Amino acid sequence: MRDVHQIIEAVWKAESTRLIAAIARVTRDVGIAEELAQDALVAALERWPEEGMPENPAAWLMTAAKRRAIDSLRRGLMLVQKHEEIARELEVQQQRLGEAMDQALDQVIDDDVLRLIFTACHPILAVEGRIALTLRLIGGLTTAEIARAFLVPEKTIGQRIFRAKKTLSEAHVPFETPHGEELRRRVKSVLSVVYLIFNEGHTATSGEEWMRAALCDEALRLGRMLAQFLPDESEVHALLALLEFNASRTAARRGSNGEAVLLPDQDRSLWDDAQIQRGMSALEHAQRLGGGDGYYALQAAITACHMRARRAEDTDWERIVLLYDALMQTTPSAIVSLNRAVAVSMAQGPSAGLDALDAIATPAADSALAGYHLFHSVRGELLMKMGKFAEAREEIQRAIEMTKNLREQELLTEKLKQIEKATLSA
């Protein structure tokens, strides 16, 4: 019995996105589509352990969902029509719905999955809603799994998903893939959701773990899916390159006890060379499409500099500074400025890096950086390298107080010990 349930879970994980997408094309409502798909899953859990696994699990689930859609239609007609009108109308509607469902089952439905992605990531939704709905519908994660991944109550995630589906339904958002300029605008929203999911997995905002690998895996899967569906969109391939590069370092980013290992200290022999090559190919493809100066393309180009350096000291920091300069021209932000200051410190020394860092701590930028632990962490690191230990201690202490991730706290606490040791030796 347990083995059958595990198989059903695996089938659901593999097929739920396509199932929901195919049903949504018929119902035009992702909320209803998910409910029908979930009903089909419940039926599978009830019947497969007794009847055995069907030859085509995906087709079985689609058929079960179709039956439930027809039952739902029948209930709806009972509410709005006279009894004598029901039989004739129901027959017509059942035939239409059945034909639509059969067509959805028989044809290649990658386009439906793409529509589902654009719907889940629609700009009308709050960012938190987009993320939760995307992980639920396209990632196949349960509400409990999403809640665990982001360390928030399951009820909160459930409310976000409910509100997102309700918003889409009430706004009558069409279940479609946009075209032309609207496509370009919406792609940006989709990519930002995938990027946010990956970043939360790459370095968790809070909790006891440095990384949340499941989120990285889901974001990477989404990135690869988008590259397949949108082969001519350069930023899609650029984001995929960035994700492949960063994911290639996963094994080296954690020590034997789960502790955080930063880039300069990583054992680069643990990097996944095949994944790095996939990233290089994706970046080259993005550049061939003319998107070399895009937001994700420039970030991927920066990360590629690290990937090419087999030792930390071989990193081409001068090129990285130039790439950050280009990124500041196209997409200026406090975070980009912070990362540029780090690159300047590596290329030109800690004093130059500190100057670059302090130059961005203007009143306008201060609100964005003052409460950001990495700003104080970087500043403390640079001050320590310059021998200004008292100031460095204050900055690292601020960073420790601000971060909510236990592994980052451990890392910064160790840095504080190094400062204390250097102070005694001075």
pLDDT, tens digit (0-9, with 9 covering 90-100), for 330-369: 999 888 999 999 999 999 999 999 999 988 876 544 556 7
Position 424 confidence tier, pLDDT thresholds 50, 70, 90: confident
Which residues, 6+ apart, have CB-to-CB distance to 282 below 8 Å?
227, 237, 238, 240, 241, 244, 300
Q: What is the pLDDT of residue 86?
A: 45
* Tokens found for residue 274: 């095949």
Parallel, antiparallel or unpaired: strands 206-207 and 404-405: parallel
Asked whether the predicted pLDDT for residue 69 surpasses 80, the reply is no
Asked whether the predicted pLDDT for residue 99 surpasses 80, the reply is no
Asked whether the predicted pLDDT for residue 220 surpasses 90, the reply is yes
Tokens 């204050």 belong to: 394
Q: What is the mean pLDDT of residues 203-215?
A: 87
Q: What is the mean pLDDT of residues 30-54?
A: 87
* Tokens found for residue 63: 């058929």
Q: Which amino acid is at 23?
A: I
Asked whether the predicted pLDDT for residue 53 surpasses 50, the reply is yes
How far apart, in whole angstroms, are the C-alpha atoms of residue 308 and residue 315? 8
Which of 19-28, 88-97, 357-366 has the highest average model confidence (pLDDT)? 19-28
* Tokens found for residue 349: 């020394």
pLDDT, tens digit (0-9, with 9 covering 90-100), for 369-398: 778 899 999 999 999 999 999 999 999 999
Contact predicate 395/376, CB 8 Å: yes
Number of neighbours of residue 346 by Cβ within 10 angstroms: 19
Rg (CA), the chain: 25
Q: Which one has a higher pLDDT value, 274 or 34? A: 274
Residue 268: burial class (beta carbons within 10 Å; 0-12, 13-18, 19+): middle
Position 93 confidence tier, pLDDT thresholds 50, 70, 90: low
- Taking CA 262 as the corner, what is the angle to CA 259 and CA 267, rounded to the nearest 5 degrees? 90
Domain spans of the chain, in order of start:
2-107
Contact predicate 387/236, CB 8 Å: no
Asked whether the predicted pLDDT for residue 266 surpasses 60, the reply is yes
Can you say whether residue 140 is alpha, beta or left, with left for phi > 0 and alpha for psi between -120 and 50 degrees? left
